[in-house]
Structure 1
């Protein structure tokens, strides 16, 4: 943008009087101009990806809970789940004898009212199952014997079971016959003892593993971390990035220091990206990510580029109730407070400027740390009344008509 020396005498950096400074501070609410612009660009609500369905706090069947091993004997492993709750898990689910005091993830199968204990399964462990001890939720390893129109015929520990095609994988399967003769880990999802029918699901087991991975990753994540992820989906408001089991959102305002019209111009699905973890909402498990950190900050050295009392040409980008935002350079926006737009009293910035309009302005104050620049149009507009073109150059004056108008009254 154009930079000229001002004919006005130099003023100290505190050129803005206290009343105007207070008005600006009140309007900004202690935020930088960049932060306000981000909020304006991100004002539209981001659609939620889905409600967290995990039950928390109270123990119930189907939960994955971390327990402390307090006793080990051939009858089973006694686990402390909380101050008053204990459970038991078969010893054979451990590859070696577990240590007292070790903390392990377990799945809650059911409550035994006679023993007053929760019956547990080691999370993700393959269980020895038979008709006598078979329970929904158990993890079993099945052998695929054959295929039919609806899915796979499987067998484990002498128990025949069925796996629907939709339950073979998290993804579409083109040819289920590829699984015949193979072993698959899955979860028992339905038991009908009267009809001796058992339904198993490899998909449910995969989802269980993914849930455990999500919980581990969420426990490790911290604000300020740098992570590598893969872009999963690009939308009009940003991009969802898979961090390895958990998705985070890079909002369009956090993709670059510069204005972005379409996030698809910056990233594509499947692309590997580096991101910074900005915020983590532990209640909703929503993660906000950013990419700005990995490109130069245009605000560095801004005080030298736009010193107080220098004259510049800028482009009006936004109209707000308290004034107008004006772009001085890519990634650098200044605020012209409504009281600095005109010598006459106005009720709206639109009475003086419009979005997209190029204007001449004077820099009043620069705060590089807070990323704020205050500018004024008042003195410059009076001195330079000539309109500007869309490129910010003075427009050529219209020629006066020298020939008389045709027609008219005698």
Structure 2
């Protein structure tokens, strides 16, 4: 086949299917990359300037090429469907079909190469008829081979690469990293991504998850990079957080024991006891997911990446407000919140509870606070003391009543309910001893 026939064949086949199948698609990787020892030594010697046959001597019959050889040349003609080039140091001509100019989709070769450009390519077919030597070349295959070498090294060294999203498919993204790579949707982010179209045309940082050159398969991973970036962000933020400072956060999760609050790169925990100055029985009663809250940083554990927070301590203390507005000796109304063996806790203001000791409940003896008080009951109390440092309020109920007043609570009658009918000493002797002077 002459060079003219080759060019005509390329021009008549717009997709170059026949040439691609005969030179690349149907060949095994071993056939595509096979290089004869003789031609390889010639090329290497030519590059080192040690082979006199590499010089233009006019004796091209002593120069030969094999499929897989790498060559350099100078472009002297760019046509619609191919590129023609002189092979350096010889009278050979190289023909590069448009499908072998690049792995990108192009309409014309001049989008990539121009006349007088120096190119590197690999021989994919040798045409040697009637002593007219022509080589079919591929820039694309050479670039892909080099790209695979780069990708393999990147995987071994855990390096980060950049790739441009070429296509969005249902299962993930097709990315150009010198060859066509694929990012499965599950390896795109550490969070579920609903809209893959947002990545179309973007340049993304990726790592090589898996690679198989023989099968032309490259699996990429973006999730690892995002996780690594977040890890670095958490460490940086942890170092900047200072206990005692107040910052803004967002409630992102609630549990039975507290609420997790996002501070940017890290989540901190506000224990249920730190959600409010008022007693909280259920976390959801105090906060909801999505709430923006001010929190005080209580503790930072950099090594274990834990941050303890308080919502209530970021607010003005109700106790401080109370002691600023009330004085010892003042009488006010309160609500019995809890009854314990040693007294009753009475709420005297939102978030402020004081203790009425059992001895301060009544002028009468009280065995159990529940004997005379009920939870939820409204009562009058007198402030006995305000302890600003300890945040405690001591209260009294009996100080609001006169000593002569009896407890309004139900009286307790104690009876001997035993079945023992035996007479006592009082029954036997009656009043016989009452007048005795003992």
TM-score of the superposition, structure 1-length normalised? 0.53
Equivalent residue for 2:379? 359
SS of the residue corresponding to residue 344 of structure 1 reads coil
2:350 pairs, out of 330, 353, 361, with 330
Shift of 1:196: 5.9
Equivalent residue for 2:39? none
Equivalent residue for 1:4? none
Shift of 1:213: 0.3
Equivalent residue for 1:138? 159
- After TM superposition, list the pairs within 5 Å mapping 1:155-304 onto structure 2: 155-156=176-177, 158-191=178-211, 197-234=217-254, 238-259=258-279, 268-293=288-313, 295-300=315-320, 302-303=322-323
SS of the residue corresponding to residue 294 of structure 2 reads strand
SS of the residue corresponding to residue 317 of structure 1 reads strand
Shift of 1:140: 1.6
* Deviation sequence 1:117-149 (CA, Å, 0-9, x none): xxxxxxxxxxx9332453274322122233444
Q: Counterparts of 2:341 and 2:216 in 1: how far apart (Å)?
A: 71
SS of the residue corresponding to residue 353 of structure 1 reads coil
Q: Counterparts of 2:211 and 2:371 in 1: how far apart (Å)?
A: 73
Q: Counterparts of 2:164 and 2:333 in 1: how far apart (Å)?
A: 74
Q: Counterparts of 2:182 and 2:282 in 1: how far apart (Å)?
A: 47
Q: Counterparts of 1:315 and 1:231 in 2: how far apart (Å)?
A: 32
Q: Counterparts of 2:371 and 2:377 in 1: how far apart (Å)?
A: 13
Contact 2:154-2:160 at 8 Å conserved across structures: no
Shift of 1:242: 1.6
Structure 2 unmatched runs, 5+ = 1-148, 410-438
Q: Counterparts of 1:178 and 1:374 in 2: how far apart (Å)?
A: 63
1:311 pairs, out of 331, 344, 349, with 331
SS of the residue corresponding to residue 227 of structure 1 reads strand
Larger C-alpha radius of gyration, 1 or 2? 2
Aligned residues: 259
Per residue, is there more helix in 1 or in 2?
2
Structure 1 unmatched runs, 5+ = 1-127, 388-410
Q: 1:371 to 1:246 in 2, by over 3 A?
A: same
Q: Counterparts of 2:366 and 2:406 in 1: how far apart (Å)?
A: 20
- After TM superposition, list the pairs within 5 Å mapping 1:110-121 onto structure 2: none
Query: Which structure carries more relative contact order (alpha carbon 8 Å, separation 6+)?
Result: 1
* Deviation sequence 1:191-230 (CA, Å, 0-9, x none): 5577564422222211111111001001111101222223
Q: Counterparts of 2:176 and 2:393 in 1: how far apart (Å)?
A: 72
What do you get for the CA RMSD once the two structures are aligned? Answer: 3.5
TM-score of the superposition, structure 2-length normalised? 0.50
Equivalent residue for 1:28? none
Equivalent residue for 1:150? 171
